[in-house]
Amino acid sequence: MLTATIIQSALFWEDKLANLLQFEQKINAITQKTNLVVLPEMFSTGFSMRAKELAETMDGPTVTWMKKIAIDHKIILTGSVIIEENQQYFNRLIFMLPNGSFGYYNKRHLFAFAGEDKHYTAGTKRLITSVNGFKIQLLVCYDLRFPVWTRQADQANPEYDILIVVANWPATRSHAWKTLLAARAIENQCYVIGVNRVGEDGNKNYHSGDSTIIDPLGNILFTQADEPVVHSIELHKETLNEIRSKFPFGKDADAFQIIQ
């Protein structure tokens, strides 16, 4: 079993201190024992294109804060931040473990519609990690639109069991967000956890949240629109295995390779 907690929140535009303070307060208020806490995309700044001004290194204040929170609360903490490395800027999802070690995933698909590709460098590698018997793949926002990047390469022997998507997905395209989350769950026979922000950002884009947890059949286990929410849920490997065994659609899937 894995207990996951999602935090859907408004973000203070380009104000790291205010965002870290509010998320620390929200995490401190969680009373249920949880293994994993998921924050939105660019949770310390909002979805800003001011990469040069806002970027930090991997030993900067936000990653240091994540490490402290994870160690103090004995949780895994994940969400994306703006990172500078070798004079390049990344929208980087950090997967911080309770012992202070971490993995990371650089957003693969940059949102050219908002100019993200002009300010950030695209990632080239997927990150699949393991927690409590579950394998977890991690995505950032726009990645959700591209099924090949998330597709189980061997459907008969799935690479992962949970897909986590952190986002700043605007309300004007909320139907696509909700539809794509369900599609990824159904086609990959996995749990999907989508965590979005709420409220208006510095560019006057409104976000309705619609953070959602979906089972491998596409059924919605939890969703919340427009309001901040902290919600914990238990995910069971037995349920997942039963679904995959009862509906072994993976054995009929097309073989393919992702060529970089």
- Read off the pLDDT of residues 216-260 as tens digits, 9 standing for 90 and up: 999 999 999 999 999 999 999 999 999 999 998 888 888 777 666
Nearest in space to 185 (alpha carbons), one of 155, 159, 161, 153: 161
238-239-245 Cα angle (round to 5): 85
pLDDT score at 251? 82
Alpha-helical segments (H) within the chain? 16-28, 51-54, 61-73, 116-119, 147-150, 174-188, 237-246
Spatial distance between the Cα atoms of 210 and 202, rounded to a whole number of angstroms:
20
DSSP tag of 10: B
Spatial distance between the Cα atoms of 191 and 233, rounded to a whole number of angstroms:
12
Please list the active-site residues: 41, 107, 141
- Angle of the 16-28 helix axis to the 61-73 helix axis, nearest 10: 10
Q: Which domains does the chain have, with CATH numbers?
A: 2-251 (3.60.110.10)
Per-residue pLDDT of the chain (260 residues; tens, 9 = 90+): 999 999 999 999 999 999 999 999 999 999 999 999 999 999 999 999 999 999 999 999 999 999 999 999 999 999 999 999 999 999 999 999 999 999 999 999 999 999 999 999 999 999 999 999 999 999 999 999 999 999 987 777 899 999 999 999 999 999 999 999 999 999 999 999 999 999 999 999 999 999 999 999 999 999 999 999 999 999 999 999 999 999 988 888 887 776 66
Residue 228 phi, psi (nearest 5) = -60, 145
Element (H, E) at 3: strand 2-8
